[in-house]
Amino acid sequence: MSLRLGDKAPNFQAKTSAGDIDFYEYLGDSWAVLFSHPGDYTPVCTTELGKTAALKDEFAKRNVKVLALSVDSVESHTGWINDINETQGVEVNFPIIADEDRKISEAYDMIHPNASVNATVRSLFIIGPDKAVKLIITYPASTGRNFQEILRVIDSLQLTANYGVATPADWKDGEDVVVVPATKTEDIPAKFPKGFTLIKPYLRTTPQPNK
């Protein structure tokens, strides 16, 4: 059975490029991005992990801890990190999990046999402080991820968690958000004092609450 949105993310203990970790203990009360890559010393993955390292401050200000994973060893990760730092002009500053026995990959359904029987696809999970899965995105091995989209989704998820709003299509940080149907129109002024626009009884927008 694969993980679904709202499921509790499986805890695990693992060896990583930053030492041994217990996943839940490592996260504490932070959000998490856990993402897999098909293998070390591969070109697309090298650019992805470089981009992740370059976005360190963006993840930090959102209280997000990032962990990467592949089925390669810690020794392999360590050598590859040197290449990432050199070619991408960064310093990798997050753990890369060594999942040689594939137990974590199997728990998170990161191996899709019709794509590859021994390598993880590009799975990405956003996990909340409550350890529940908030988002799942899966890419094929050939397509690098859009990290600006990942940051956008984190912003949306955190707005929902903190303010009970939703975000419309193509929403960007700072734009108006949607008042969820569970909030009655007559209750909007007290909850959202910046005002609101009634487009339809079921479609109400309000300025982003934390801006």
Q: Which CATH superfamily is domain 164-206 in?
A: Antioxidant, Horf6; Chain A, domain2 (3.30.1020.10)
Q: What CA–CA distance (Å, rounded) separates 147 from 188? A: 33
Query: Do the domains 13-145 and 164-206 sit in the same CATH topology, yes or no?
Result: no
Confidence of residue 176 (pLDDT cuts 50, 70, 90): very high
Report which of 2, 11, 92 is spatially closest to residue 45, judged by C-alpha positions.
92
Domain spans in the chain, listed from the N-terminal domain onward:
13-145, 164-206
Contact 93, 56 (CB under 8 A): yes
Report which of 25, 45, 40, 96 is spatially closest to residue 67, judged by C-alpha positions.
96
Q: Is 186 left (phi over 0), alpha (psi -120 to 50) or beta?
A: alpha
The overall average pLDDT reported for the chain is 93
CATH architecture designation of domain 13-145: 3-Layer(aba) Sandwich (3.40)
Q: What is the pLDDT of residue 1?
A: 52
Confidence of residue 129 (pLDDT cuts 50, 70, 90): very high
Q: What is the pLDDT of residue 99?
A: 92
Q: What is the pLDDT of residue 139?
A: 87
Among residues 45, 90, 110, 133, the one annotated as catalytic is 45
Indicate if 185 belongs to the active site: no
